[in-house]
Amino acid sequence: MTSERTHTLITGGAGFIGSNVAHSLLRDGERVTVADNFSRAGVRQNAQWLKRTHGDRVRIVDVDVRDAEKVRLLVAGSRQVFHFAAQVAVTTSLEDPAADLQTNVIGTFNVLEAARAMRTPPPILFTSTNKVYGGMGEVRVDLAEGAYRYADGRRGVGEDAPLDFHSPYGCSKGAADQYVHDYARIFGLPTVVFRMSCIYGTRQFGTEDQGWVAHFARALFGSEPITIYGDGCQVRDILWIDDLVGAMRAAMDRIGSVSGQVFNMGGGAENAVSVRTVIDRLRDITGADVPVAQAGWRPGDQRIYVSDTAKAERMLGWKPRTSWRAGLEKLVEWLHEADLATPVAAREPTSGGGAHALAEAAR
Ligand SMILES: NC(=O)c1ccc[n+]([C@@H]2O[C@H](COP(=O)([O-])OP(=O)(O)OC[C@H]3O[C@@H](n4cnc5c(N)ncnc54)[C@H](O)[C@@H]3O)[C@@H](O)[C@H]2O)c1
């Protein structure tokens, strides 16, 4: 571990969002430490790609954020921390709530405590979720032309919406969100929380459990059947990954003025689309078609969730630039280039020695 604080630390850095943030920083000549336990199927490919593309400026370490001592050493050597490592799926949190809690709450607590122990703690950006607002059953919605919409005409959900953790994942991410937020208030740590809706893009190994846009795109490519949970009329404001990376870097660049802030982050009203519309558009782009089955609603699934990004626009000088239509085209283009048509579960084991071997080789 380096004693100089020249590195950016990205926990979960081999993941979808982590590898994109890493690439953006590395392209600008920065040094990055990617810390990941490679538990997400597919993400070893992201680490290998970062290493191939950026060589020695990226360090890849096989670290589990539940290991407080290793986290302490990594944070102590970092000039800023993007804390993304997480158990990311509601479904998995229902199967194993204890593991979900350990990674999401204790892992985050380890990062915060490591920073609190330092004379000058590094800025920390934490990725929370719209799930902290719960099912939002109290918000009236209408169904019009195959898509839910807010009956009161609001453009989206602001940061002042009541918290209502739903599902173990909602509880663990929500607890971590509140810890990160409060450590800025109570201990003066420079932290910022992004409550994100649905992010999609390159380097995303989406599955049925998480990353549904990428999952559908890959299923269409690979002629795998699709299951829609609920009626498919649910609406999300999808945000293209490069736009998210821009917002994250803007937040870190101005941490002095945004420390302690929470931002709702998504594509906003202009990029709010139903699940069925996304599938239809992907069918048009790929020219592929697959059987679509329907199953019951998942717990806590909101009929509509659209982020009100006004605060982020005001304080970060940021706006989503990529329309959902253009984003879906770029996603399919990447699948072509990377030859990643087959859905993840069909070609990747969920664990294995390869991750360790990669981390060793990368040191
Ligand atoms: N993608 C989205 O739409 C979205 C939406 C809301 C919130 N988020 C949050 O953003 C963050 C990044 O999500 P993503 O989409 O890039 O997911 P991802 O699964 O691609 O990335 C998460 C990474 O964390 C790693 N990881 C998991 N447990 C770990 C542990 N105990 N120790 C070390 N590493 C571990 C995984 O191997 C993976 O590489 C997560 O915190 C997630 O909850 C994502």
Q: Three-state SS for 317?
A: coil
Question: Of the listed 133, 150, 169, 305, which one is catalytic?
Answer: 169
Rounded CA separation 354/53 (Å): 19
Residues ≥6 apart with Cβ < 8 Å to 189? 112, 115, 116, 121, 124, 183, 259
> What spacing in Å lies between the alpha carbon of 15 and ligand 1's midpoint?
6
**What is the residue with the minimal CA distance to atom 12 of ligand 1?**
84
Q: What is the CATH number of domain 7-362?
A: 3.40.50.720
pLDDT in tens, 147-189: 999 999 999 999 999 999 989 999 999 999 999 999 999 999 9
Q: What is the pLDDT of residues 280-333, one digit of tens each?
A: 999 999 998 888 999 999 887 889 999 999 999 999 999 999 999 999 999 999
Per-domain residue ranges for the chain?
Answer: 7-362
Q: Is the C-beta atom of 34 inside 6 A of ligand 1?
A: no
Told to judge if 169 belongs to the known catalytic residues of this protein, a careful annotator would answer yes
Structure confidence by residue, pLDDT tens digits, 211-254: 999 999 999 888 888 999 999 999 999 999 999 999 999 999 99
- Measured from the Cβ of residue 95, the count of other Cβ atoms closer than 10 Å reads 11
Query: What letter does residue 146 receive in the DSSP assignment?
Result: T
Q: What is the DSSP string of 88-142?
A: --HHHHHH-HHHHHIIIIIHHHHHHHHHHTSSSPPPEEEEEEGGGGTT-TTS-EE
Pocket test for ligand 1, best of 67, 88, 131, 240 (most atoms within 8 A of CB): 88
Nearest CA to ligand 1 atom 32: 64
* Amino acid letter, residue 286: T
The residue contributing the CA closest to ligand 1 atom 35 is 85
Taking the C-alpha atoms of residue 238 and residue 235, their distance in angstroms, rounded to an integer, is 9
**Atom 36 of ligand 1, nearest CA residue:** 40
334/338 Cα distance (integer angstroms): 6
